[in-house]
Amino acid sequence: MLDTVFIREIIKEANGDGSRTYRIQFSQSLFAAHHDISRANIVNAVKEHGRVKVALCVAATMRHLSKGRINLDAKAMLWANEVLNAWHDDNPGRRERALVNMEAHPTKLEPAARPLINLTWTN
């Protein structure tokens, strides 16, 4: 189960006031976070963009990878689903902009994201 403080952060930051301009601005900042995660490690991306944007990018990518029949840890998939459920955005285009392009191998994302998952997951 996700930490309740983290859920509130996702709802507040990702959903904002619901206006079109906020959604576009958030989508652009999410795209910048996506590029930094693809090139650098996740810890540096969290410092620069915040854990909400990084978590949304990682969760969207994990869900996308699971559809491609790549096996991921069950706890990581539960985490990804809960993160994406807290993001009330029904536009699939914005979710696709969040996908991380892992240059080495897609399964490298899960071990790299493990500290973020452990930080925001409560038992």
Q: Find the mean pLDDT for residues 84-96.
A: 79
* Mean pLDDT within 94-115: 76
What ranges do the domains of the chain cover? 4-120
Mean pLDDT of the chain: 85
Helix (H, G, I), strand (E, B) or coil at 2: strand
Task: Count Cβ neighbours within 10 Å for each residue of 26-38 and write b for 16 or more, e otherwise.
Answer: bbeebeebbebbb
What tens digit of pLDDT does each residue of 12-49 get? 998 888 888 988 898 889 888 888 888 767 888 899 99
